[in-house]
Structure 1
């Protein structure tokens, strides 16, 4: 158990099941070891969290303000503009998706600069070529996207329909063109 915890603690990236099996042997139940470690961490300011296809030690959200006060914030996700967040959300839910499909969804041309910023932040990458004429590139989210947003897999995204039902998201509003400035090609973000 301590070898698993030490390996996860020392790693800068989430550690997957295969790597942990190399540490303790294939006969050990990784899930039981993780459960035991999480039980020992109960009441501590950090936990062992399944994220981006592996496990990582992360501080509990309740301590976020104290950490920001002491060391500042280096959260990349907080550096995103509202238009970038909307496009990233659409990529996450509808991937693989082309820039033309995104533009069609929003009713406005999505700027190459916006896509470049999301790619530069490591949140999206090129996906498979689209089977449509011209075989344009598609975009998909990355492992870094999962890590930044604390998701283990894309299945952990909030249910799209539940967000609409809660009034937090309106597909009709997006389709009606009620999109913030900065999505149109050539406009400033």
Structure 2
């Protein structure tokens, strides 16, 4: 390119704006640095200064430049979210109380097993709930717990932090000594509502009934599979990764 490094530095906020608007996912400083190094604009301090300049430019507008777990992204501010939702005929699905409670327990107590979640909630966890959370990219398996049966350990993902607009789990509302699932749910709901993820009160009872029915089906299926299944060979233990930060 014919632009001088000085000219690029002067135009860097606009260059970053173009890259972030064109990207379909957050861009980290490393990614931005790789994109800009050939043009002489890859200094991290310069990049941060340009990003801060762009943040200030968006103050008082409909846009916001946020740093989340995976990097930097430009988004529509929450106060205009309802207007943007009109672009799509179908509204995003709302989360049931059972799903939100399960997600909250994983967020605050990870790594946890399915039985750990059931102990806190007092009911069987539906396979559909764990499948939904996995399909959304919000939770994943991270090794196994070294107890009989070696159940999978569940943790949250950077995708969940991105969707909630968080840089790390440290930004979750503080909840020391949480024991009540309703407390867990209330804390996560603060963030969910802020980001437009809604808990539909009208679906709570139906969702819980469906979860209970699915839980019974899971237990019946597990019992039948255990009765007819051959013994499984032992698998070397897998250490869970460190908690996301």
TM-score normalised by L of structure 1: 0.80
Inter-CA distance 85–27: structure 2 relative to 1 (3 Å threshold): closer
The answer as to whether partners of 1:83 and 1:182 remain within 8 angstroms in 2 is: no
Shift of 1:182: 4.6
Shift of 1:5: 2.0
Q: Corresponding residue for 1:29?
A: 46
Counterpart among 118, 122, 142 of residue 157 in structure 2: 142
Inter-CA distance 18–91: structure 2 relative to 1 (3 Å threshold): same
Larger Rg: 2
Q: Corresponding residue for 1:50?
A: 67
- Structure 1 residue matching 2:125: 3-state secondary structure: coil
Tell me how far apart the structure 1 counterparts of residues 152 and 177 of structure 2 sit (CA, whole Å): 30
Tell me how far apart the structure 2 counterparts of residues 27 and 65 of structure 1 sit (CA, whole Å): 36
Show structure 1 runs of 5+ residues with no match: 172-179
Alignment of 1:83-94 (within 5 A): 83-94=98-109
Q: Corresponding residue for 2:131?
A: 116
Tell me how far apart the structure 2 counterparts of residues 101 and 152 of structure 1 sit (CA, whole Å): 26
Alignment of 1:165-180 (within 5 A): 169-170=182-183, 180=208
Q: Is residue 2:216 matched to residue 1:186?
A: yes
The answer as to whether partners of 2:101 and 2:182 remain within 8 angstroms in 1 is: no
Q: Is residue 2:29 matched to residue 1:14?
A: no
Inter-CA distance 141–41: structure 2 relative to 1 (3 Å threshold): same
Q: Deviations over 1:153-179 (max 9, x none)?
A: 111111124999xxx9537xxxxxxxx
Q: Corresponding residue for 2:96?
A: 81
Paired residues in the alignment total 175
- Structure 2 residue matching 1:97: 3-state secondary structure: coil
Tell me how far apart the structure 2 counterparts of residues 113 and 12 of structure 1 sit (CA, whole Å): 28
Shift of 1:139: 1.0
Shift of 1:137: 0.7
Point out the more displaced range, 142-151 or 89-98: 142-151
Tell me how far apart the structure 2 counterparts of residues 64 and 13 of structure 1 sit (CA, whole Å): 18
Q: Report the RMSD for the aligned CA atoms in angstroms.
A: 2.7
The answer as to whether partners of 1:123 and 1:144 remain within 8 angstroms in 2 is: yes
Tell me how far apart the structure 2 counterparts of residues 150 and 46 of structure 1 sit (CA, whole Å): 14
Tell me how far apart the structure 2 counterparts of residues 135 and 162 of structure 1 sit (CA, whole Å): 26
Tell me how far apart the structure 2 counterparts of residues 66 and 163 of structure 1 sit (CA, whole Å): 36
TM-score normalised by L of structure 2: 0.63
Q: Corresponding residue for 1:61?
A: 78
The answer as to whether partners of 1:21 and 1:28 remain within 8 angstroms in 2 is: no
| Deviating 4+ runs (over 6 angstroms) | none
